Structure formats: structure tokens, C-alpha cells
């Protein structure tokens, strides 16, 4: 699914509002944990690319959380709407490209570090191409439950967009000459109102051809004032061998 096809102005605003909210302490703690892992691999004067950068959230957090480092920051997204949002958020502190993850608009061996957070599609050979030898790829994604485990269970797996487990990503990275340094699968409980749950489902590529019937099915199953939903984020740190 192309970014331009999915992200219109309404979806972009919805994602922006959701990312600024904290649904639970445990979820926020995990967000801190993800950036603490990135922090372990930072050094002065590194060149960093964030793929599927969206509104520039990851790059802005690197600037805010690690002011002690001088970093050369770049981002790429295939949605012009998201690219505009990222450029506004970062205010010239990072260079944001409009481009596709399957053909990154970057030269070979350009980056010390590539990050990806909840990206619809990654191309591991391209990530390897743009990384320096022994450069790192730090990846946060959701597992088979797509971050909404109980909701995912309502639908056939073939309707879930890119429902993949940790082993899948590890295998793909290893076959592209990466060495896995960290591979973790987590389970986090988050609370949602039924209305907020629908907003989250609609805010990212989750279910193929999401319809009013799907919405009614979710609301029929999750109709209490607050519903506890399991998120299944995973984190991988992989190093390009050569």
C-alpha cells in the first residue's frame, strides 16, 4: 500500500494527535526504552537515516533526548503530506526526502545508523546498501497482533497487513548479511475507549479494505467504557557485517 494512497490530510492529523497521547505508563516506558536502545549506539558526528519517518517524530526525539551529540539527521517518507509535516516539525534540523523505502534516494554506504519505527514496509537490501560497513539498523515494529492483539484476533490473518513475527525479520536480516545484536518481543497492556480504538485502527495500515462492517464488529466486541488491549511491539538491533 503506497503512502500517498493511505495518508490523506485526515489520517495525517489523526496520527499526529494519537502520537502525542500516552495511553498508559507502561506504553510510555516502552517508548523511552526504545530511544534508550538507540542512545547506546549514538556517537558524535554520526549520519542517521530514519526511514518511513512520517511526521519526523523519531528524528525530533533524537534531537530532544540526546542534545549532547552532534548528529547529521535525514528522513525519508513516500507521503508528501507526511514529508511536509516532518519538515515543519524539524524546522531545518534534518533533511527530509520524499522517496520510497524500496529505492531509497541515498548513495551507497551513506549512514552510520538507520532507524525505523512502525514502518509499513521496509526493504532490507536497501537498508544494507545505504549503511556503512558495521553500521546499525534499529527497528521497532509490531508482531503478529499488529499492536492490537485482541482486535487482530477478530479477523482472518490474510486481512491483516504485514502481520509478521520476530523470527521473520531475523531471518530476512541474516540472509542479507546482518548480525543480530538485540531481538526482543514485548507485551504491553493499554487501555482504550471503544471510540479511541476505532481511531487507532483507522490511523495506520492494519486491516485490508477496512469497512463499516469491520467497525461494527469491533465495537460489538469491545464496548465497555475502557477496554484493555495487548500491544506486541518488537525491537531488533542488527549490524551490517561487511
pLDDT of residue 204: 87
pLDDT of residue 13: 55
Candidates 162, 118, 166, 171; CA nearest to 140 is 118
Per-residue model confidence as pLDDT tens for the chain (242 residues): 344 455 555 555 544 544 443 333 356 688 899 999 999 999 999 999 999 999 999 999 999 999 999 999 999 999 999 999 999 999 999 999 999 999 999 999 999 999 999 997 899 999 999 999 999 999 999 999 999 999 999 999 999 999 999 999 999 999 999 999 999 999 999 999 999 999 999 988 899 999 999 999 999 999 999 999 999 999 999 999 98
Domain spanning 3-145+162-187+233-240: which superfamily?
Vaccinia Virus protein VP39 (3.40.50.150)
* DSSP-assigned letters across all residues of 131-152: EEEEEEEEEEEE-TTTT-HHHH
- 44 alpha carbon, distance to own chain's centre: 24
pLDDT of residue 156: 96
| pTM, two decimal places | 0.86
pLDDT of residue 120: 76
Burial of 138 (0-12, 13-18, 19+ CB in 10 A): buried
C-alpha cell at 163: 502481520
DSSP-H helix ranges across 41-184: 57-65, 80-90, 124-130, 149-152, 166-175
C-alpha cell at 172: 530476512
pLDDT of residue 63: 98
Structural contact between residues 90 and 56, judged by C-beta atoms closer than 8 angstroms: yes
Compute the half-sphere exposure of residue 192: CA atoms within 13 Å on the CB side of its CA. 24
Amino acid at each position: 500500500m503506497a503512502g500517498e494512497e493511505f495518508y490523506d490530510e485526515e489520517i495525517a492529523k489523526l496520527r499526529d494527535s494519537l502520537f502525542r497521547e500516552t495511553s498508559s505508563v507502561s506504553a510510555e516506558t516502552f517508548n523511552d526504552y526504545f530511544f534508550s536502545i538507540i542512545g547506546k549506539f549514538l556517537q558524535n558526528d554520526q549520519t542517521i537515516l530514519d526511514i518511513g519517518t512520517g511526521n519526523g517524530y523519531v528524528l525530533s526525539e533524537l534531537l530532544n533526548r540526546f542534545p549532547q551529540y552532534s548528529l547529521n539527521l535525514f528522513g525519508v517518507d513516500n507521503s508528501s503530506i507526511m514529508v511536509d509535516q516532518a519538515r515543519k516539525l524539524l524546522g531545518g534540523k534534518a533533511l527530509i526526502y520524499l522517496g520510497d523505502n524500496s529505492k531509497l534516494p541515498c548513495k551507497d554506504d551513506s549512514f552510520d545508523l538507520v532507524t525505523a519505527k512502525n514502518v509499513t514496509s521496509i526493504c532490507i537490501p536497501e537498508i544494507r546498501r545505504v549503511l556503512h560497513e558495521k553500521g546499525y539498523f534499529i527497528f521497532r515494529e509490531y508482531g503478529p497482533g499488529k499492536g492490537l492483539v485482541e482486535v487482530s484476533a477478530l479477523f482472518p490473518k490474510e486481512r491483516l497487513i504485514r502481520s509478521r513475527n520476530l523470527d521473520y525479520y531475523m531471518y530476512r536480516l541474516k540472509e542479507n548479511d546482518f548480525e543480530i545484536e538485540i531481538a526482543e518481543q514485548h507485551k504491553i497492556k493499554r487501555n482504550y475507549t471503544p471510540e479511541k480504538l476505532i481511531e487507532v485502527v483507522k490511523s495506520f495500515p492494519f486491516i485490508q479494505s477496512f469497512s463499516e462492517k469491520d467497525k461494527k464488529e469491533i465495537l460489538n466486541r469491545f464496548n465497555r467504557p475502557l477496554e484493555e488491549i495487548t500491544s506486541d511491539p518488537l525491537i531488533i538491533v542488527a549490524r551490517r557485517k561487511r
